């Protein structure tokens, strides 16, 4: 499940990590119930807009929020584009964005590479599988890009581009494909000549459930 709409949302907007749900977003989340019958517990990203979504669902349904985990946090966009939309991106970021699918291990400034996001999503999938063996069906509350990659792990880091184009709506629930999570691929070893080993671009210019865990 993607979180509800947040304060200051705009199309193509990279939200600050600490932003909260808007009133419209809270209403969207409340209307997302009832949940699929197999859901027994809720797991969430620690970012406020996701954690608030999980808490609303928990209050409405009575299902426990068993944990929040950094593995479900949204793709870490570089600070240079936080709060901006595509019309206002720095030129160096536009260039990185144009070539990122070809060089998935290359990082822009303090952001997260496509390969790093895919690797984190693989770890998240294995974590979810382990938890489901203890709790049963899980509702995973997270973010558009992370969820898009999580549902297409077999595509590797290229899943990011499809996730970015996907119209996964606020508070929309989709089934998670039941399959074994692949191991992250060693992309760096196969890279053509680019920024190289540094891999970083620096531009010149249930009611009896356990208490919530943090992982």
211 has a pLDDT exceeding 80: no
**pTM here?**
0.84
At residue 54, does pLDDT exceed 50?
Answer: yes
pLDDT of residue 177: 80
Q: What is the pLDDT of residues 11-35, one digit of tens each?
A: 878 899 999 999 999 999 999 999 9
pLDDT tens, position by position, 173-200 = 999 887 666 666 554 333 333 333 333 4
Q: What is the pLDDT of residue 213?
A: 57
The model's pLDDT over 137-155, given as tens digits with 9 standing for 90+, comes to 999 999 999 999 999 999 9
pLDDT of 164 reads: 94
The whole-number pLDDT of residue 208 equals: 33
Cα–Cα distance list, 130 to 31, 107, 124, 135, 171 (Å)? 29, 30, 10, 9, 25
Average pLDDT, the chain: 87
Q: Assign residue 62 a region: left if phi > 0, alpha if psi is -120 to 50, beta otherwise?
A: left
Q: Which residue has the higher pLDDT, 177 or 70?
A: 70
Q: Can you read off the two tokens belonging to residue 107?
A: 């990082």
Number of neighbouring beta carbons within 10 Å of residue 99: 11
- Percentage of the chain surpassing pLDDT 70? 83
């Amino acid at each position: 499940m993607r979180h509800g709409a947040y304060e200051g949302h705009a199309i193509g907007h990279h939200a600050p990590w600490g932003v909260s749900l808007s009133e419209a977003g809270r209403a969207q989340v409340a209307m997302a119930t009832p949940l699929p019958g197999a859901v027994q517990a809720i797991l969430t990203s620690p970012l406020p807009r996701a954690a608030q979504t999980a808490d609303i669902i928990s209050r409405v349904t009575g299902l426990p929020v068993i944990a929040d985990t950094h593995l479900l946090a949204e793709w870490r966009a570089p600070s240079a584009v936080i709060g901006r939309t595509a019309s206002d991106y720095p030129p160096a970021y536009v260039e990185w964005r144009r070539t990122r699918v070809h060089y998935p291990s290359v990082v822009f400034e303090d952001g997260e590479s496509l390969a790093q996001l895919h690797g984190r999503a693989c770890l998240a999938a294995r974590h979810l599988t382990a938890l489901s063996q203890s709790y049963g069906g899980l509702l995973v509350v997270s973010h558009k890009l992370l969820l898009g990659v999580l549902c297409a792990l077999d595509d590797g880091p290229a899943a990011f581009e499809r996730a970015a184009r996907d119209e996964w709506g606020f508070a929309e629930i989709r089934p998670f494909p039941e399959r074994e999570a692949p191991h992250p691929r060693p992309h760096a070893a196969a890279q053509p000549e680019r920024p190289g080993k540094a891999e970083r671009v620096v531009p010149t210019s249930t009611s009896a459930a356990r208490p919530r865990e943090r992982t």
